[in-house]
Amino acid sequence: MRLADCRVLLTGASGGIGLALAEQLCARGAQVMAVSRQPEALAPLRARYQQQLVWTGADLRQVQGRQRVLEVARGMGGIDVLVNAAGVNCFAMLEQVDDSQIEDMLALNVTATVQLTRALLPLLRQQSHALVVNVGSIYGSIGYPGYAVYCASKFALRGFSEALRRELADTPVNVLYVAPRATRTSMNSQAAMALNAELKVGVDEPDQVARAVIAAIEKDLSEVYLGWPEKFFVRLNGMLPGVVDRALSKQLPIIRRFSGAHHGKDHP
């Protein structure tokens, strides 16, 4: 796709990856409707790209918020690309997570994304070529201790992306699923980042992830997995999950230690 010709609706636009995406989309000439609950992080971009960037405040977990987004998208004359980048995370063992945290992750990461996509599909189908981009995670393919609820949400998003792509195969709408690895954003707590450092896990910057998403959009790809050896472990987990079970069991005492030491400080 040629982004300079596109109207892009971007959720989670004030987050680390979302903010980087907003900047890079504008830099390529796209008209961007940025959706977030807080406008402050977007203020410099809104000042720089006054003719391209429109901000809409909305809580996508609420029907009123999704309706507001739909109305603004109609006012733009429709959209060519929907980027679902809104999401939350929580590093904690399942027994350390309370009901409100579970509900919050599933409501935003899965339910709101599915509902918003459904609401916007009629606008996307009006275009000669359109795209839904779902920003998932490597943890949407590998179940990882300390992220049971987050994994549940991202496994669901990956399945939704695959099924929707097949459902829309005879329409002008394609679906792209992007799976970043660990990324340096405020969504990842200090405990999570400390664990990554202890285990020597590779961590990408939001700009790197955004560049990969932009490249995938321009090439009209259907799936992108970021990072090495993460891409290898995704394949290994699909073919030989027992091997991954044994490898992660060795990390389990370390994961428990970091989760327990920082319990109560990790909900974003």
Nearest to 140, CA basis, from 234, 17, 217 = 234
Question: Residue 211 falls within a domain, yes or no?
Answer: yes
Rg (CA), the chain: 18
Q: How many domains would you assign to the chain?
A: 1
Question: Residue 220 falls within a domain, yes or no?
Answer: yes
Question: Residue 267 falls within a domain, yes or no?
Answer: no
Question: Residue 190 falls within a domain, yes or no?
Answer: yes
Question: Residue 30 falls within a domain, yes or no?
Answer: yes
Q: What angle do CA 66, 37, 211 make, to 5 degrees?
A: 95
Q: So what's the pLDDT on residue 22?
A: 97
- Residues of the chain with confidence (pLDDT) below 50: 264-268
CATH number at residue 124: 3.40.50.720
Question: Residue 266 falls within a domain, yes or no?
Answer: no
Domain span including residue 230: 3-261
Q: So what's the pLDDT on residue 193?
A: 87
pLDDT per position as a tens digit, 79-104: 999 999 999 999 999 999 999 999 99
CA distances from 176 to 17, 84, 137, 159, 202 (A): 16, 10, 13, 12, 23
Catalytic residue among 139, 147, 150, 225: 150
Nearest to 218, CA basis, from 107, 41, 80 = 80
Question: Residue 268 falls within a domain, yes or no?
Answer: no
Q: What angle do CA 175, 177, 179 make, to 5 degrees?
A: 170
Q: So what's the pLDDT on residue 267?
A: 34
Other Cβ atoms less than 10 A from the Cβ of 9: the count is: 29
Q: So what's the pLDDT on residue 262?
A: 52
Question: Residue 161 falls within a domain, yes or no?
Answer: yes
Residue 218 in 3-state DSSP? helix
Is residue 177 within 8 A of residue 223, CB to CB? The reply is: yes
Strands (E), 58-206: 81-84, 130-135, 173-179
144 is catalytic: no
pLDDT per position as a tens digit, 146-196: 999 999 999 999 999 999 999 999 999 999 999 999 999 888 888 888 888
Whole-angstrom distance, CA of residue 264 vs CA of residue 247: 27
Whole-angstrom distance, CA of residue 224 vs CA of residue 180: 8
Whole-angstrom distance, CA of residue 119 vs CA of residue 72: 13
